[in-house]
């Protein structure tokens, strides 16, 4: 007979009552203190063996899950909520049915009913950068193209920026297409609201890394091509670009945005949002804040290493489309069919043949810069993706062709 069961303890204490064993020896046998042995002896003399049984034995815990709630969980798991994982299912129960249960409780009930997990996987042991302990050290960004609004006939692009250390969604916004302006907007928003991060991890994309073979003389001497429009902005801020290369890194990269993707699809359907404008208002006013409260670490739980921009660092200028401009005979800077007038104190005689920096800002307006001074402005025009074009060389020359950024004509 096991001596630590109620019946085993009763047999030992019966020997004490019969005088066959001292109470001190019985306390050693029962592995309890002497004072506890005294109380146990008194309970046995008053109630017999029932005195050794705990009073809550056989009673149902007050926090136990009722059979009604259990049946609701099983029915929803088999019928209406098959596409939800355990975490999202627990959130749905609390939000729609006012049933507060933990994810672990949902998991246990579902596995008892042989309901498999939505996605079985092993946790990755190594991230791309072996985990980052400080916010702002490493960001992930990606343009997710999907049919976010089922009533719409076309897919659109969601740009999302997530911090690796805290899991916080820094920003998110819908755009009709995936283009350089999408990432430049996200970069400007991050720098203005949070600061300059150390690294950005991104998928291989022609918007980040040029893949053409038209290299100018300067590029051949430099040994690397001129950066893309997004690459220029990242270099200007001093942000290191890290590209996803291996399959393991690709899986980790996709998992970073998986929870955001699942939550956003469900919330858009729940809120009956059917267009981009309403979706952007929902992201800014509600979704990002709710998502960070549920899944991200708090600011007090993790340090940050955001770098503050210098006073001379103009985020609006850096995150605009870049063009090289020269003064024409009429005294304007010509970019395609756009003629940008210059201030009166600047003319061709003063500036000479020097190339000027021309920027089209994200609001469509144009500015001409000379030694960090704005010397020309133009009203907003359609924001179009710059095209890298080859300038036809003069005849009877063998030099490499020169390439420049050209503003495409709006047909």
* More confident of the two residues 323 and 3: 323
pLDDT digits (tens, 9 = 90+) for 213-238: 777 777 777 778 888 999 999 999 99
Of these ranges, 34-38, 193-197, 203-207, the one predicted with the greatest mean pLDDT is 193-197
pLDDT at 130 (0 to 100):
47
What confidence tier does 354 reach under pLDDT thresholds 50, 70, 90?
low
Average pLDDT over residues 158-175: 93
What confidence tier does 411 reach under pLDDT thresholds 50, 70, 90?
very low
Residue 394, pLDDT above cutoff 70? no
pLDDT at 397 (0 to 100):
56
What confidence tier does 396 reach under pLDDT thresholds 50, 70, 90?
low
The β-bridge partners of 403 are: 390
Residue 129, pLDDT above cutoff 50? no
Least confident of 82-96, 98-112, 175-189: 82-96
Pairing of strands 356-360, 387-391: unpaired
- 406-410, Cβ contacts within 8 angstroms, sequence gap of 24 or more: 406/323, 406/336, 407/323, 407/335, 407/336, 407/338, 407/360, 408/336, 408/384, 409/336, 409/337, 410/381, 410/382, 410/384
CA–CA dist 63, 80 (Å, integer) = 26
Q: Which CATH architecture has domain 138-301?
A: 2-Layer Sandwich (3.30)
The CA-based angle 330-331-332, given to 5 degrees, is 100
Least confident of 247-251, 364-368, 388-392, 395-399: 395-399
pLDDT at 1 (0 to 100):
45
User: Could you count the other beta carbons within 10 Å of the beta carbon of residue 78?
Assistant: 12
Helices and strands in the chain: count of H runs, count of E runs: 14, 13
User: Could you count the other beta carbons within 10 Å of the beta carbon of residue 173?
Assistant: 19
Average pLDDT over residues 335-364: 82
Query: Whole-prediction pTM value?
Result: 0.72
Give CA separation, 190 vs 185, 187, 196, 200, in Å.
9, 5, 7, 11
Interhelix angle 86-96/103-112, rounded to 10 degrees, is 110
User: Could you count the other beta carbons within 10 Å of the beta carbon of residue 340?
Assistant: 20
pLDDT at 348 (0 to 100):
66
Question: Which residue shows structure tokens 């050794």?
Answer: 52
Q: Are 158 and 280 in contact (CB under 8 A)?
A: no
What confidence tier does 367 reach under pLDDT thresholds 50, 70, 90?
very high
Beta strands in 23-96 (DSSP E): none
pLDDT at 17 (0 to 100):
85
């Amino acid at each position: 007979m096991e001596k630590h069961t109620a019946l085993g303890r009763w047999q030992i204490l019966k020997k004490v009552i019969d005088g066959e064993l001292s109470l001190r020896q019985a306390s050693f046998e029962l592995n309890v203190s002497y004072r506890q042995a005294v109380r146990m002896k008194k309970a046995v003399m008053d109630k017999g063996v029932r005195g050794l049984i705990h009073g809550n034995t056989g009673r149902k815990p007050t926090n136990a899950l009722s059979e009604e709630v259990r049946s609701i969980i099983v029915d929803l798991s088999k019928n209406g909520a098959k596409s939800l994982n355990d975490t999202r299912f627990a959130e749905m129960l609390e939000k729609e049915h006012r049933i507060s249960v933990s994810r672990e409780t949902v998991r246990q009930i579902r596995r008892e009913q042989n309901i498999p997990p939505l996605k079985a996987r092993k946790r990755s042991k190594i991230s791309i950068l072996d985990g980052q302990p400080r916010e702002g050290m490493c960001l992930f960004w990606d343009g997710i193209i999907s049919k976010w609004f089922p009533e719409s006939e076309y897919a659109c692009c969601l740009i999302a920026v997530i911090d690796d250390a805290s899991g916080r969604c820094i920003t998110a916004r819908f755009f009709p297409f995936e283009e350089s302006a999408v990432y430049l907007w996200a970069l400007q928003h991050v720098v203005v609201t949070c600061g300059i991060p150390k690294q950005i991890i991104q998928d291989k994309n022609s918007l980040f890394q040029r893949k053409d073979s038209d290299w100018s003389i300067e590029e051949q001497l430099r040994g690397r091509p001129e950066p893309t429009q997004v690459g220029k902005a990242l270099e200007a801020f001093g942000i290191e670009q890290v590209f996803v290369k291996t399959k393991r890194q690709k899986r980790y990269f996709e998992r970073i945005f998986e929870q955001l993707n699942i939550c956003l699809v469900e919330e858009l359907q729940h809120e009956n949002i059917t267009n981009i404008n309403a979706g952007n208002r929902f992201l800014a006013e509600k979704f990002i804040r709710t998502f960070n409260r549920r899944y991200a670490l708090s600011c007090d739980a993790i340090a940050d290493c955001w770098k503050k921009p210098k006073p001379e660092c103009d985020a609006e200028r850096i995150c605009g489309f870049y063009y090289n401009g020269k003064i024409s005979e009429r005294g304007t800077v010509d970019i395609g069919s756009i003629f940008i007038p210059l201030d009166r104190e600047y003319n061709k005689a003063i500036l000479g043949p020097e190339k000027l920096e021309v920027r089209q800002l994200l609001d469509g307006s144009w500015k001409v810069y000379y030694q960090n001074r704005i010397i020309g402005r133009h009203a907003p025009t359609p924001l179009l993706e710059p095209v890298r074009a080859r300038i036809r060389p003069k005849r009877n020359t063998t030099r490499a062709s020169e390439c420049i950024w050209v503003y495409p004509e709006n047909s």
